[in-house]
């Protein structure tokens, strides 16, 4: 599943090609995604200028004067830019084209159809899909004091706690594994047992791992292709995720692999406590 760094990489890759341009048309070949694409969306945005392209959690927010298109990549979705005159023939699972007046086409590919293309009126952050979200992990609002206070009396494992979008958005499975390893915190540790010192280092490591992943273009996953058509490269630097039973990069002890919340969790029983 594309996680926050992949979505941010996509945003940065496609923004220069479409922001400031007017919409020529929206082509919907299959509106049966996670939620149906609004029937009037094409007429709503036709001729409208795209004012900005921002991100909230894993949602891309395309701003127009009348409101926003909320675009979610789902579990297997990707967006790619097709330059003017280079529109390739439509392939299977390419459900939506956003065609701009400058000839650029933004094409959405989503084999599993868990993505979404929705409309939100102003103010966008009061939309039901966004209003409950916690702070952005790279923002100043996400600091150790916030995490420490939020974790008090919480019995759930720290890994599932930081993956809860109501606590903080965008800390997906890959990056939760990596940040906890870097912080030396065992993923099964109850969130309420987190010390102030551990909260400080965990927030720092979450910010580091996400920033590094964004800088390097996201994590290479089978279903993800960057907005510029290039895969990410961060997978080459993963210390624990996908390395169950392999030697720890620090102590050489075999990494443990367990299931938590139906997600793969890998950690070092010696380096993380």
The reply to whether 93 sits in an annotated binding site is yes
The reply to whether 112 sits in an annotated binding site is yes
Q: Is residue 253 among the annotated active site residues?
A: no
Name the active-site residue from 11, 55, 56, 58.
58
Q: Is residue 113 among the annotated active site residues?
A: no
Name the active-site residue from 189, 207, 208, 263.
263
Q: Is residue 2 among the annotated active site residues?
A: yes
Name the active-site residue from 2, 5, 137, 157.
2
Tally the residues of the chain: 273
Strands 78-82 and 67-72: unpaired
- 188-218: buried (b, 16+ CB within 10 Å) or exposed (e) per residue? bbebeebeeebbbbbbebbbebbeebbebbb
Distance CA 266, CA 273 (A): 13
Q: Which residues are within 8 A (CB) of 191 and not within 5 positions of it... i.e. 6 or more apart? A: 151, 154, 155, 156, 157, 158, 161
Integer-rounded Cα radius of gyration of the chain: 20
The reply to whether 95 sits in an annotated binding site is no
Q: Is residue 3 among the annotated active site residues?
A: yes
Longest dimension (CA), the chain: 60
The answer to whether 190 and 156 are in contact (CB under 8 A) is yes
Name the active-site residue from 3, 8, 63, 94.
3
Distance CA 95, CA 27 (A): 8
Tell me the binding residues for DNA: 93, 112, 154
Tell me the binding residues: 93, 112, 154
**Catalytic residue positions?**
2-3, 58, 263
């Amino acid at each position: 599943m594309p996680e926050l760094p992949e979505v941010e990489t996509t945003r940065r890759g496609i923004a220069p090609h479409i922001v400031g341009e007017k919409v020529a048309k929206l082509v919907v070949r299959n509106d049966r995604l996670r939620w149906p694409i609004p029937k009037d969306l094409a007429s709503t945005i036709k001729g409208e200028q795209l004012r900005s392209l921002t991100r909230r959690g894993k949602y891309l927010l395309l701003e127009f004067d009348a409101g926003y298109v909320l675009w979610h990549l789902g579990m297997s979705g990707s967006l790619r830019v097709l330059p003017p005159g280079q529109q390739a023939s439509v392939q299977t699972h390419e459900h939506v084209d956003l065609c701009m007046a400058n000839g650029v086409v933004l094409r959405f590919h989503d084999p599993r159809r868990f993505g979404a293309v929705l409309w939100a009126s102003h103010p966008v952050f009061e939309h039901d899909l966004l209003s409950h979200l916690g702070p952005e992990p790279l923002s100043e609002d996400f600091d150790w004091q916030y995490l420490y206070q939020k974790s008090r009396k919480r019995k759930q494992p720290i890994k599932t706690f930081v993956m809860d979008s109501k606590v903080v958005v965008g800390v997906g499975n890959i990056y939760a594994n990596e940040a906890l390893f870097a912080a030396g915190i065992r993923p099964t540790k109850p969130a309420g047992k987190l010390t102030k010192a551990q909260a400080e280092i965990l927030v720092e490591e979450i910010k580091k791992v996400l920033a590094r992943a964004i800088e390097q273009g996201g994590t290479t996953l089978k279903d993800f292709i960057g907005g510029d058509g290039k895969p990410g490269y961060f997978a080459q630097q993963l210390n624990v995720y996908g390395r169950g039973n392999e030697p720890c990069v620090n102590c050489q002890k075999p990494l443990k692999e367990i299931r938590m919340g139906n997600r793969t969790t890998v950690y070092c029983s010696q380096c993380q406590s």
